Amino acid sequence: MIPLYEASSQFHNWRFSAQNLDQIRSSLNAAAVGVIRNTFEADQPGSSASISFLNPDEELLLVRLYASKIPQLCGFFRFPEEVEATAVSYLKRFYLKNTVMDWHPKNVMLTALFLATKTTNHPIALDAYANNIPKTTPSDVVDLEFLVAQSLGFEFAVWHAHRALWGIWLDLQSLPDAPPDRATSQRDVYEAALKHVRSSRLSDAELIYTPSQIALAALSIADPELASEWSHSKFPSESASIPHLDNTLAAIRALIEAAANPQDVEVVRAVDLRLKICKNPEKVVGSKAYLAKKAEEERKAEEKRTRKAADAPPTEGDPFGDELAGRLVDYDDDDDD
Amino acid sequence: MDAVEKANAERQKRWVKDQKIGEGTYAVVYRGREASSGRQVAIKKIKVGLFKDGLDMSAIREVKYLRELKHQNIIELLDVFSSKTNLNLVLEFLESDLERVIKDRSLVFLPADIKSWMAMTFRGLEFCHRNWILHRDLKPNNLLIASDGQLKIADFGLARDFADPGYKMTCQVITRCVCAAVGYSRDSDINHGWYRPPELLFGSRYYSTAVDIWSVGCIFAELMLRTPYLAGESDMDQLNTIFRALGSPTEQDWPGHTKLPDYVPIGHFTRAPLRDLFTAASVDALNLLTQCLIYEPKKRITAKDALSHAYFFAPPYPSHPSKLPKTSPPVNTTQPLDEIDGNTLSGKNNRKRKLSSSTDETKTRSAVARRLDFTKTTPGS
Higher pLDDT, B279 or B171: B279
Residue A20 lies in a domain: yes
Q: Where is pLDDT greater, at B3 or A31? A: A31
Among candidate residues A232, A260, A288, the one where a domain is terminated: A260
What pLDDT sits at residue B343? 32
The distance of A126 to chain B (nearest Cα, Å) reads: 5
Q: Are residues A22 and A104 in the same domain?
A: yes
Residues of B in contact with A333 (CB under 8 A): 17, 30
- A127 inside domain: yes
pLDDT tier at A319, thresholds 50, 70, 90: low
pLDDT score at A82? 96
B222 pLDDT above the threshold of 90: yes
**In this structure, are residues B144 and B185 in contact, taking their beta carbons and an 8 Å threshold?**
yes
Give ∠ CA B288-B294-B296 in degrees, rounded to 5. 145
Indicate whether B183 belongs to any domain. yes
- Shared domain for A148 and A12, answered yes or no, is yes
Choice between A43 and B107, residue whose per-residue pLDDT is larger: B107
Q: Are A184 and A168 found together in one domain?
A: yes
**Does A99 share its domain with A224?**
no
Task: Name the minimum distance, in Å, from the CA of B46 to any CA of chain A.
Answer: 10
**A142 and A179 belong to one structural domain:** no
Question: In this structure, is residue B180 part of a structural domain?
Answer: yes
Among the candidates A203, A229, A260, a domain finishes at A260
Task: List residues of chain B with CB under 8 Å from any CB of chain A.
Answer: 2-5, 7-8, 17, 19-20, 28, 30, 45, 47-49, 52-55, 57, 60-61, 63-65, 67-68, 70, 80, 82-87, 130-131, 160-161, 163, 332
| Predicted confidence (pLDDT) at residue B1 exceeds the cutoff of 70 | no
Confidence of residue B169 (pLDDT cuts 50, 70, 90): low
In chain A, what residues touch B4 (CB-CB under 8 Å)?
97-98, 147, 150-151
- A interface test, pick of B5, B53, B81 with most A CB neighbours within 10 Å: B53
| A144 belongs to a structural domain | yes
Point out the residue among B4, B87, B131 whose CB comes nearest to the CB of A147: B4
> Would you say the C-alpha torsion B340, B342, B344, B346 has a positive or negative sign?
positive
pLDDT tens digits for range B178-205: 222 222 222 233 335 899 999 999 998 8
The stretch A43-51 carries a mean pLDDT of 82
Residue A300 has pLDDT above 70, yes or no: yes
SS3 assignment for chain B? CCHHHHHHHHHHHHEEEEEEEEECCCEEEEEEEECCCCCEEEEEEEEHHHCCCCCCHHHHHHHHHHHHCCCCCECCEEEEEEECCEEEEEEECCCEEHHHHHHCCCCCCCHHHHHHHHHHHHHHHHHHHHCCEECCCCCHHHEEECCCCCEEECCCCCCEECCCCCCCCCCCCCCCCCCCCCCCCCCCCCCCCCCCCHHHHCCCCCCCCHHHHHHHHHHHHHHHHCCCCCCCCCHHHHHHHHHHHHCCCCCCCCCCHHHCCCCCCCCCCCCCCHHHCCCCCCHHHHHHHHHHCCCCHHHCCCHHHHHCCHHHCCCCCCCCHHHCCCCCCCCCCCCCHHHHCCCCCCHHHHHHHHHHCCHHHHHHHHHHHHHHHHHCCCCCC
Q: What is the per-residue pLDDT across A165-210, written as a single tens digit (0 to 9) for each? A: 999 999 999 998 899 999 999 999 999 999 999 999 999 999 999 9
Is the pLDDT at A42 greater than 90? The verdict is: no
Q: Mean pLDDT, chain A, as a whole number?
A: 88
Q: What's the whole-number average pLDDT of chain B?
A: 81
For residues B54-76, average pLDDT: 94
Give the residue from A104, A127, A158 where a domain finishes: A158
Residue B212 lies in a domain: yes
The answer to the question of residue B100 being in a domain is: yes
Judge whether B213 and B302 are in contact, CB under 8 Å.
yes
Q: Is residue A143 located within the same domain as residue A45?
A: yes
Of B23 and B73, the structure prediction assigns the larger pLDDT to B73
The whole-number pLDDT of residue A322 equals 53
Tens of pLDDT along B104-147? 999 999 999 999 999 999 999 999 999 999 999 999 999 999 99
- The CATH number assigned to the domain holding A140 equals 1.10.472.10
CA distance A312 to chain B (A): 14
Q: Is position A316 within any domain?
A: no
- Chain-centre distance of CA B260, in angstroms? 27
The reply to whether residue B57 touches residue A118, judged by beta carbons under 8 angstroms, is yes
Name the pLDDT band for B170 (thresholds 50, 70, 90).
Answer: low
**What is the rounded distance in angstroms from the CA atom of residue B65 to the CA atom of residue B59?**
10
Give yes or no: residues A152 and A168 share one domain: no
Burial of B351 per CB tally in 10 Å (0-12, 13-18, 19+): exposed
**CATH classification at residue A220:** 1.10.472
Number of domains in chain A: 3
Question: Does B222 map to a domain?
Answer: yes
Structural domain that includes position A95: 5-158
pLDDT at B331: 53
Residues A287 and A247 in one domain: no
pLDDT tens digits, one per residue of A255-299: 999 999 888 889 999 999 999 888 888 777 666 777 777 788 788
Residues 6+ apart with CB under 8 A from B141: B97, B98, B99, B100, B183, B185, B186, B188, B190
User: Is there a single domain that holds both residue A9 and residue A135?
Assistant: yes
Specify if A33 maps to a domain. yes
Q: Which of A59, A15, A31 is nearest to A204 (CA)?
A: A15
Find, among A271, A9, A337, the residue nearest to A158 by Cα: A9
Closest CA of chain A from B224, distance in Å? 33
Note whether A154 and A22 are same-domain residues.
yes
Q: Residue B232: left if φ>0, alpha if ψ -120 to 50, beta else—which one? A: beta
Q: Is residue A333 part of a domain?
A: no
CATH number reported for the structural domain that contains residue B130 in this entry: 1.10.510.10
Classify residue A318: in a domain, yes or no.
Answer: no
- What ipTM goes with this model? 0.85
Taking an 8 Å cut-off on Cβ atoms, the answer to whether B67 and A156 are in contact is yes
Dist CA A153 CA A9 (whole Å): 10
Query: Given B53, B63, B83, which is nearest A154 (Cβ)?
Result: B63
pLDDT surpassing 80 at residue A327: no
Residues A149 and A188 in one domain: no
* Judgement on whether residues A147 and A170 belong to the same structural domain of the protein: no
So what's the pLDDT on residue B167? 52
Say if residue A159's pLDDT is above 50.
Answer: yes
Do you know the residue count of chain B? 381
Res B16: pLDDT: 94
pLDDT of residue B365: 39
* Average pLDDT of span B273-284: 94
> How many independent structural domains does chain B possess?
1
Look up the domain containing B191 and give its range.
Answer: 96-322
> Tens of pLDDT along A225-257?
999 999 989 887 777 778 889 999 999 999 999
Is B44 labelled a binding residue?
A: yes
Count interface pairs A-B at CB distance under 8 A.
90
Q: Are the beta carbons of B104 and B339 closer than 8 angstroms?
A: no
Please answer whether residues B54 and A122 qualify as being in contact, where contact means their C-beta atoms are separated by less than 8 angstroms.
no
Question: Which is it for strands B96-97 and B143-145: parallel, antiparallel or unpaired?
Answer: antiparallel
Residue B37 predicted with pLDDT over 90:
yes
User: Would A183 be classed as within a structural domain?
Assistant: yes
The secondary structure of residue A97, as a DSSP letter, is: T
- Which residues of B are known to be catalytic? 137
